[in-house]
Structure 1
Amino acid sequence: MPNPRRAPFCNTRRGRVKAAPPEFVVIGDSRAEDPAVAVAEASESLRGRGLCFVFAVLPDSLDVEETSALLSQEFRGVPVFGCSSAGQITTDGYDDQALLLLGFPRKNFRCASMLFQDLRPDHATAFAARAQKEAERFRHTAGWNRFALIVADGLSKQEDLLVSTLDAVLGDVPIFGGSAGDGLKFERTYVLHDGEAHSGAAVLLLIETDLQFQGVAFDHFQPEGAQIVITSADAEDRLVYEINGAPAAEEYARLVGCAPEALSPEVFAENPMMLRHNLTHYARAISDAKPGGALSLLAAIDDGLILTLGKAKGSLEALHEGLSARDAAGQPPDFILGFDCFLRRLEFEHKQLTKEVSDILRTHRVIGFNTYGEQKSGLHMNQTFVGVAFFKPEARVLN
């Protein structure tokens, strides 16, 4: 189990020169330890800005329920969505103590929201029907673009089914998102809907914008290691008991070249198991080793799956290249809303690359949070960066 008493993520705020702020999102943050002070400080730059909605990213140092109630009071009349997180991506790069608020202006955004409570497989069909009905009711604005954001309880173990089902009914509306975290505790995660905190739940936002946008998704692993066959697993609880016919933790440790007792979040982060799907390999990340030798995963797993051990390749180069989106005119994004797996961050930290990564994130105007999983194109993934790059609206000729 990850140790919550380990040293915190490196705070990279000192000595940084801030880039010019984005034009189409309003950003506020605070590192105050008191929820009331944090909300007051982070909200200051968002007041009176004509917002459609606020997206809040909460650190594990703040009480989620108290903070969400204070946010609801602060932004009366403006809905507040968001989640607890495994780390934040602010205008300074990686952080782990920031209350981050993102304000989306009414002049550029419209939004409809749904709260899905009590995430269970037998509720997926009802959730899909609600999403389809809401999408049909959500009036389309001529010339505007539509997409969906989803944030889900990162410990619910239901993201795979939920996002694939929603993707099927929403058709050509692309879905992006991430799973809520709680630092490295793995105890309880929350999503925020209209200023209230919920566990075992997910929030779906249908969003229209006059901005142009592009989806972003990448990792830096190649399936170049040993073959792995899952010979015994509990699909419902995402537990692997046997790999290649041997106890899972023991066999995994042998394949990556370490002792079973040396397995750690850093080892898991740097040696993911990769599953091939539609000619692309996706990580099936391990969160921890259980007593008795089982491995707990952060995405769907089942008996008989054949995977390959992944090896990292050019992490900084992949990050810079993956974030180098351009619009039709060759211009960079105004900002990128990012969902970045916490295991990627652990790897960067272990390799002492936190400063370099934060520099790249800041340069590309990435804001968002570290997740327990990422969602895009109907898939729930691990150890991936998923994002939405927003560009200035296309110039329109008036007749």
Structure 2
Amino acid sequence: MRDHFSDPSIVQVAVSNLTSPRLAARDAASKISVSETRFVLAFVPGEMKGDEVAAALDEALGGVPVFGCSTAGQITDQGYETRALLLLAFPKKHFRCSSVLLAPLDPIAPTALATTAQRHAQEFQHTAGWKRLGLIFSDGVSQQEDVLVSTLEAVLSDLPIFGGSAGDSLRFEQTFVLHNGVSHSNSAVLLMLETDLEFQGVGFDHFLPAGAPFVITGADPQARKVHEINGAPAAEEYARLVGCKLADLSPTIFAENPVLVQYRDRHYVRAIADADDDGGLSFMAAIDDGLIMTLGQGQEILQTLETGLRRQDRLGERPDFILGFDCVLRKLEIEQKQLARAVSDILCASRVYGFNTYGEQYCGVHMNQTFVGVAFFGPGEGYVL
């Protein structure tokens, strides 16, 4: 049986900590066997400029298709990192792919988006016996992920889609996606995959509803902004519900005290990005008037992480690797509690590779403070729903 701290056998993993986009791309690409590679996922440090890294990767990888995005952190073979260029090379032996750039996101045109996605799916010829899934990488500053993923779910209902919103170094300024050698802002990349491998979707958080429900009584859905909660100024009422002073509201308070909304018998996190000068709250996912919400009470984050990543097939085998999209707000909470090393050890033990996001997408829902991913099993291993 393979050591779970060893490298995955399916994908090639390459990491560079060089700060120059050109040098980092060359360094990481030198660790990949290009001739065996169908496509590469690239997760880029938020400090790197999109056009520079896109051109450098295209040159270094000899035109092999590259998809990915800027990030608020990377998950490598060392666990959490912040300045690492991470490349995952997916082999021709086990994967086929087709991609489409969806732009612009703001303003978004759902009908046109649906037509484009549906036509593209129909043109992607199916391989007998292979299974399909989708990956979505979306500009995290566009604030259109809710409409984007719900539209894709409606028209591609037989295609499970997982993904994350591109981030940066928490400046909320420079986010981009990568598509075939070019960097794009205000855009999303939909990657349709076929594989002969078995896989499982992964999605979990560490919050349970707590306390009495409250109502959003004043909101600007387009801007994802709440002006009133329970008829009172939003920031003031949130502080009262949490039990802190208005002046003490901070990213740490928001990360540890998210608000939850119920959808299809499950609670999802709607994370707060900031308290505004006018007394409102800015959110990182869809919000609307009349929405009934509750505060989330955090559970033990190490235990929920280990449990959420504990996947196995019908033979009891663990995944070869997990492609993971982990919210940056989870990382902030973990660092605040000085648990980054312990979390990194768990991620390494489960062979998780991916990035820290500005939001996560899981089968038609955009959410926050959640871990989303896809667990891939080695050839010959079984699939468990």
Give the TM-score taking structure 1 as reference length.
0.93
Q: Which runs of 4+ in 1 moved over 3 A?
A: none
The answer to whether the Cα contact below 8 Å between 2:5 and 2:350 also exists between their aligned partners in 1 is no
1:189-204 superposed matches below 5 A: 189-204=175-190
Cα distance in 2 for residues equivalent to 1:394 and 1:141? 18
Aligned equivalents of 2:110 and 2:39: distance in 1? 26
Partner of 1:90: 76
Question: RMSD value over aligned CA atoms?
Answer: 1.5
Distance in 1 of aligned mates of 2:314 and 2:154: 29
CA contact (8 A) 1:121 1:161 kept: no
1:300 pairs with 2:286: yes
- Per the alignment, in what secondary structure is the counterpart of residue 45 of structure 1? coil
1:141 aligned onto 2:147: no
- Any idea what SS the aligned residue of 2:222 has? coil
Tell me: CA distance 1:338–1:67, structure 2 relative to 1, closer, same or farther (3 Å): same
Aligned mate of 2:8, from 19, 22, 34: 22
Is contact 2:14-2:31 (8 Å) kept?
yes
**Aligned partners of 2:51, 2:211: CA distance in 1, in Å?**
44
Per-residue deviation, 1:47: 3.6
Once the two structures are superposed, what CA deviation does each residue of 1:80-139 show, in whole Å capped at 9, x if it has no partner?
Answer: 110001110001100001011111111111000000111146512111111111111111
Distance in 2 (CA, whole Å) between partners of 1:259 and 1:31 is: 41
1:232 matches 2:218: yes
Deviations along 1:163-186, one digit per CA (max 9) or x if unpaired, are 011111112110000000012111
1:251 counterpart residue number: 237
- Structure 1 residue identity aligned to 2:292: I
Match of 1:101 among 77, 83, 87: 87
Question: Partners of 1:311 and 1:395 in 2: how far apart?
Answer: 37
Q: CA deviation at 1:394?
A: 2.7
Structure 1 stretch displaced more, 17-26 or 98-107:
17-26
Q: What is aligned with 2:150?
A: 164
| Partners of 2:12 and 2:32 within 8 A in 1 | yes
Give the one of 344, 355, 374 matched to 1:358: 344
| Maintained 8 Å contact 2:4/2:349 | no
User: How many Å apart are 1:245 and its aligned residue?
Assistant: 1.0
Output the TM-score relative to the length of structure 2: 0.96
| Aligned partner of residue 134 in structure 2, secondary structure | strand
Letter in 2 for 1:261: A
CA contact (8 A) 2:63 2:181 kept: no
Residue 207 of structure 1: which of 181, 193, 208 is its match? 193
**Greater Cα shift, 164-173 or 359-368:** 164-173
Match of 2:375 in 1: 389
Is the Cα–Cα contact under 8 Å of residues 18 and 91 in structure 1 kept in the other structure? no
1:312 partnered with 2:312 = no
Give the number of equivalent residue pairs. Answer: 380
The aligned residue for residue 172 of structure 2 is 186
Deviations 1:365-388 (A, max 9, x none): 000000011111110011110000
Please say if 1:128 is aligned against 2:110. Answer: no
Contact 1:114 1:205 in 2 (8 A): yes
The code of the aligned residue for 1:372 comes to Y
How far apart are residue 395 of structure 1 and its match? 7.0
**SS of the counterpart of 1:165?**
helix
Aligned to 2:54: 68
- In the alignment, structure 1 residue 110 sits paired with structure 2 residue 126: no
User: Matches of 2:307 and 2:44 in 1, distance apart?
Assistant: 28
Give the conservation status (yes or no) of the 8 Å contact 1:284–1:298.
yes
Q: Does 1:46 align with 2:32?
A: yes
For residue 18 of structure 1, report the CA deviation from its aligned partner: 9.6
Equivalents in 2 of 1:317, 1:49: separation in Å? 41
**Contact 2:216 2:290 (8 Å CA) reproduced:** yes
Shift of 1:49: 4.5
Identical pairs, percent: 57
Which residue of the partner structure matches residue 77 of structure 1? 63
Give the CA deviation at 1:347.
0.7
